[in-house]
Amino acid sequence: MFKLIKFIFPPLLAGLGIAFIIIWFNPELRDNLPKLEAPHIQAHHMSFADAVEKTAPAVVTIFSEGFSNQPRYQRQSTVRELGSGVIMSRDGYILTNYHVVNNADQIIVLLPDGRQYSDTQLIGFDTITDLALLKIPAENLPVIPIDHDYSPRVGDVVLAIGNPLNIGQTITQGIISATGKQTLTESQFNNLLQMDAAINVGNSGGAVVNSNGALVGITSAQFRTRLNIDIQGISFAIPYDLAMDVMHKLIMDGRVIRGYLGFRGTPVDNTGKSVTDLYTPIVGLAVSELDPLGPAWQAGMKEHDIVVKVGGEPVTNPQRTLKTIGNTAPGTKLEFEVLRGGQRLTITVEVAELETGLY
């Protein structure tokens, strides 16, 4: 065996040496040799870049300015409020918070592409939802994406887009932790989304979008201001369907006309106990804070009545019921089915108009 190896090895080495010399002095042969490559590893990472790319151009900065009471030639403008806004149409309709533009002498809108509009028109506002509708003289604007089939759910990932502290457009990320929040509002006609995305001064009126870039709601930081404390991890937004409903009414009438009955309703279960969780079935609204001059009292409704049907529809979703009442035109007669002392009664109420300050 050793003799066989000794006989074969020298010619093999000589052949390898000749092949090396030929390949070394012939680059075209060297380039055709098979190349050993490290295996390709595809990187998988989570990114919201596509959602931001679709939505960020439609979120603007809003400066609410006021003028001093000095003579005209000495007047100086000062920024009273800093906020954000969301472009809702290509022809310049913008939603923002009412408290951002309240008492403004001039409203300036700054687009992400650098365009600035100082001749902004205030179309109307709604103090109940803290929404205001603006109009700028522009065309072919980027519009926030809307998904009419989307319904916000607890656990959805959301992005808040705005201009906090005037440091420039910023994206923060969070999760929806609650829906239908009314405990921080003064009206049952308003309901909020609660989330933990970081919100600061200047975010008010900005966009909250989901991971696909569809509008979830309009940021509202008024509750942070109202409570006057530094809140960590709790922020709120006005749901997009409510915001769009308000916008359409402001465009049509310049104000929001709501039906008014004159009582508050607390969700209850089939035993009459208040429902405070998301899992117990709701069978009605317990009447409280009955306005002695309101339509419900005048029609014969009493404290502690339990409303189980409104207009023939069962009360299983308080937000939907209150929306039905709010969207009922004043002067309309609405039929209520109530439980009182174990008896089922039918009461017809003529809906009045909700006036500012009655909520």
Q: What is the pLDDT of residues 113-171, one digit of tens each?
A: 999 999 999 999 998 889 999 999 999 999 999 999 999 999 999 999 999 988 999 99
What is residue 139's predicted lDDT score, i.e. its pLDDT?
93
Q: Give 52's DSSP letter.
A: H
What is residue 119's predicted lDDT score, i.e. its pLDDT?
92
What is residue 358's predicted lDDT score, i.e. its pLDDT?
44
What is residue 123's predicted lDDT score, i.e. its pLDDT?
96
Distance of alpha carbon 264 from the chain centroid: 26
Q: Catalytic: 147?
A: no
What is the CB neighbour count within 10 angstroms for residue 247?
A: 24
What is residue 14's predicted lDDT score, i.e. its pLDDT?
65
Q: Catalytic: 277?
A: no
What is residue 278's predicted lDDT score, i.e. its pLDDT?
72
* Residue corresponding to tokens 């209150």: 322
What is residue 272's predicted lDDT score, i.e. its pLDDT?
83
Residues of the chain with pLDDT under 50: 183-186, 358-359
**Cα–Cα distance for residue pair 191/129, rounded to 1 Å:** 8
Here the tokens at position 356 are 């500012």
**Cα–Cα distance for residue pair 227/169, rounded to 1 Å:** 26
Q: Catalytic: 204?
A: yes
Q: Across-strand partners of 66? A: 78
What is residue 42's predicted lDDT score, i.e. its pLDDT?
61
What is residue 185's predicted lDDT score, i.e. its pLDDT?
43
Here the tokens at position 84 are 């954000």
Which residue of the set 64, 84, 126, 130 is catalytic? 130
Which residue of the set 64, 84, 99, 305 is catalytic? 99
Triad 204, 238, 307: Cα angle to 5°: 150
Which residue of the set 64, 84, 204, 235 is catalytic? 204
Strands 352-353 and 343-350, by their bridges, are unpaired
What is residue 25's predicted lDDT score, i.e. its pLDDT?
60
